[in-house]
């Protein structure tokens, strides 16, 4: 399929999705509204890829990092410095974007669409009782952001504290995408995560260009 035909098909699908989202909003069906807004974000992402391929531009080297301000800020600061040294632009869901009207979901989706890679720091946020003793759960929003990143098919790496209960990561993402850390070795593990990010970013660029190779 040519770029022109692909572009037209995506734009027509986008119009249909916008109409369905508006209908869901009028009926005050928040679950359905969120579902359609996520589909719109995916279509916007595909349109952006087609446009950048058409113009001969590489996708930006930009990473979205999920973390908890309460328990993850100390780790985020270290990771952010390493990512910037590797020439990644670092964004997150805490910075409000103009035009999102303070809506957290829209803000996160907008930032994720701008990213080409996803990382999350699953730090110890909420204690969870377990037969082996107390384990931990990450911040609530991390699961939401991870789900959106997966829906947008972003390549990813998860940095997971060793004491996080496995149900919060094992059932939804492959183990090979994880790096485990504790307070003593986070710096070393973060360097490994950045190296993986560089490698997977290159893979993503190749994957993004393939559908349009040879198109007229």
pLDDT one-digit tens code per residue, 71-118: 999 999 999 999 999 999 999 988 776 655 667 777 888 888 888 899
pLDDT band for 133, please (50, 70, 90 cuts). confident
Our measurement of the distance from residue 131's CA atom to the centroid of its chain's CA atoms, rounded to an integer in Å, reads 33
| Count of Cβ atoms closer than 10 Å to residue 21 Cβ | 19
Banded pLDDT at 195 (limits 50, 70, 90): very high
Please compute the mean of the pLDDT values over residues 34-50 and round it to a whole number: 66
Kindly report which listed range (44-48, 71-75, 126-130) carries the lowest average pLDDT score: 44-48
- Whether 51 has a pLDDT exceeding 90, the answer reads no
Q: How far apart are CA 68 and CA 110, in angstroms?
A: 19
Task: Give me the pLDDT at residue 48, please.
Answer: 62
Distance of CA 6 to the CA centre of its chain: 24
Structure confidence at residue 200 as a pLDDT band (50, 70, 90): confident
Region at 153 (left for phi over 0; alpha for psi -120 to 50; beta for the rest):
left
- Position 160 confidence tier, pLDDT thresholds 50, 70, 90: very high
User: Whole-structure pTM over 0.75, yes or no?
Assistant: no
User: What percent of the chain shows pLDDT beyond 90?
Assistant: 34
Domain 58-212 has CATH 3.40.50.450: yes
Sheet holding 89-91, edge to edge: 89-91, 62-66, 117-122, 156-161, 178-181
């Amino acid at each position: 399929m040519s770029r022109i035909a692909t572009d037209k098909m995506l734009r027509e699908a986008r119009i249909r999705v916008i109409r369905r989202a508006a209908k869901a909003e009028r009926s005050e069906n928040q679950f359905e509204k969120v579902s359609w807004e996520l589909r719109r974000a995916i279509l916007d992402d595909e349109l952006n890829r087609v446009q950048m391929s058409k113009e001969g531009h590489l996708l930006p080297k930009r990473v979205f990092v999920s973390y908890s301000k309460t328990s993850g800020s100390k780790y985020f600061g270290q990771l952010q410095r390493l990512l910037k040294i590797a020439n990644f632009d670092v964004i997150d869901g805490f910075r409000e974007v103009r035009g999102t009207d303070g809506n957290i979901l829209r803000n996160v989706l907008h930032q994720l669409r701008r990213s080409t890679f996803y990382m999350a720091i699953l730090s110890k946020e909420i204690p969870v009782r377990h037969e082996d003793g107390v384990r931990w759960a990450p911040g609530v929003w991390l699961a939401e952001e991870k789900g959106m990143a997966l829906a947008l098919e972003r390549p990813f790496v998860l940095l997971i504290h060793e004491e996080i209960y496995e149900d919060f990561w094992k059932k939804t993402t492959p183990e090979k995408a994880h790096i485990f850390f504790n307070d003593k070795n986070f710096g070393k593990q973060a360097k490994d995560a950045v190296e993986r990010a560089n490698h997977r970013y290159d893979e993503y660029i190749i994957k993004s260009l393939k559908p349009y190779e040879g198109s007229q």
